[in-house]
C-alpha cells in the first residue's frame, strides 16, 4: 500500500526561480560577470547550489573566487528567498488533502538544508514533518541518501512510498532509491525530458496525483 509521498521542493512545490535568478545575478555582478537570463538559470538548477554557481560562472573565475561567489549567492539568497517565491497553484490544497487522508509526506531537496527548513516553515507552516536539504552528512540527489533519510525519519519503508519531482535529477533519485517517480510538468523541465528519463507517471496539475495514488492502492 502506498501511504507516503516524498516531494522535491524547487519546481515541484515552490516556484523559486525568480529569487534564485536574482541571487545568482547579484553574486555574478560582484565579480563583474554578465547576468544570466531566467531561461538559463532554469536549466542550471537541480544539482545543488555549488553546481548552480559553477554553471552560472562557466569557468570565468578561478576556483577560489568561484567559492567566494558561491558564498555571496548563499548569503544573498538567505536574505531574499521570499521576495518572489510562492507555492504553485493547487499545491497547498494537495498537501492538506494528503494529510487529511493520513499520508506521510516529506520534502527532499538539493537546496541547502537551512533554506529548505525555512521555506517549509514559511510556506507550509511546518506541515511537512520532514524536510531535508543539502548537508555535509548526506549525499546530494540523484544519490538516494536523502530519500532514505526521509523514509527513516517518517518510519516507513520504500515499498510504501512514491517520489514527486520536476526534473531528470528527481527521476534518477527516485529510481536510485527504488521508488517510482511522478513527474510534474509545471516545474523547471518539460514533459519530453521526463518521458525520456523514465518517469512512471506524469501529471499536469497537483490534484492529479490523487488518482495515481488511488490506482496504486487499488492494484
Residues acting as catalytic residues: 8
Full DSSP string of 76-89: HHHHHTTSS-EEPT
Dist. CA 106–CA 118, nearest whole Å: 14
Contact between 131 and 117 under an 8 Å Cβ cutoff? The reply is yes
- Using the 8-state DSSP alphabet, how is residue 44 labeled? H
Residues whose CB falls within 8 Å of the CB of residue 149, separated by 6 or more in sequence, listed in order:
132, 138
Q: Which long-range contacts (CB under 8 A, 24 or more apart) does 37-40 make?
A: none
Amino acid at each position: 500500500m502506498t501511504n507516503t509521498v516524498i516531494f522535491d521542493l524547487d519546481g515541484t512545490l515552490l516556484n523559486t526561480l525568480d529569487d534564485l535568478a536574482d541571487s545568482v545575478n547579484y553574486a555574478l555582478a560582484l565579480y563583474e560577470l554578465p547576468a544570466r537570463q531566467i531561461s538559463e538559470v532554469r536549466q542550471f538548477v537541480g544539482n545543488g547550489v555549488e553546481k548552480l554557481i559553477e554553471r552560472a560562472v562557466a569557468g570565468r573565475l578561478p576556483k577560489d573566487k568561484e567559492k567566494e561567489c558561491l558564498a555571496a549567492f548563499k548569503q544573498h539568497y538567505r536574505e531574499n528567498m521570499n521576495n518572489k517565491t510562492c507555492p504553485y497553484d493547487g499545491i497547498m490544497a494537495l498537501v492538506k488533502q494528503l494529510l487529511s487522508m493520513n499520508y506521510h509526506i516529506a520534502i527532499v531537496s538539493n537546496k541547502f538544508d537551512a533554506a529548505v527548513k525555512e521555506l517549509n516553515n514559511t510556506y507550509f507552516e511546518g506541515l511537512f514533518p520532514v524536510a531535508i536539504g543539502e548537508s555535509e552528512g548526506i549525499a546530494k540527489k540523484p544519490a538516494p541518501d536523502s530519500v532514505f533519510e526521509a523514509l527513516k525519519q517518517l518510519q516507513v519503508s520504500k515499498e510504501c512510498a512514491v517520489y514527486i519531482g520536476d526534473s531528470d535529477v528527481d527521476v534518477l533519485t527516485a529510481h536510485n532509491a527504488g521508488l517510482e517517480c511522478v513527474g510534474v510538468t509545471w516545474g523547471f523541465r518539460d514533459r519530453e525530458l521526463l518521458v525520456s528519463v523514465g518517469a512512471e507517471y506524469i501529471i499536469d496539475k497537483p490534484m492529479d496525483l490523487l488518482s495515481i495514488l488511488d490506482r496504486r492502492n487499488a492494484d
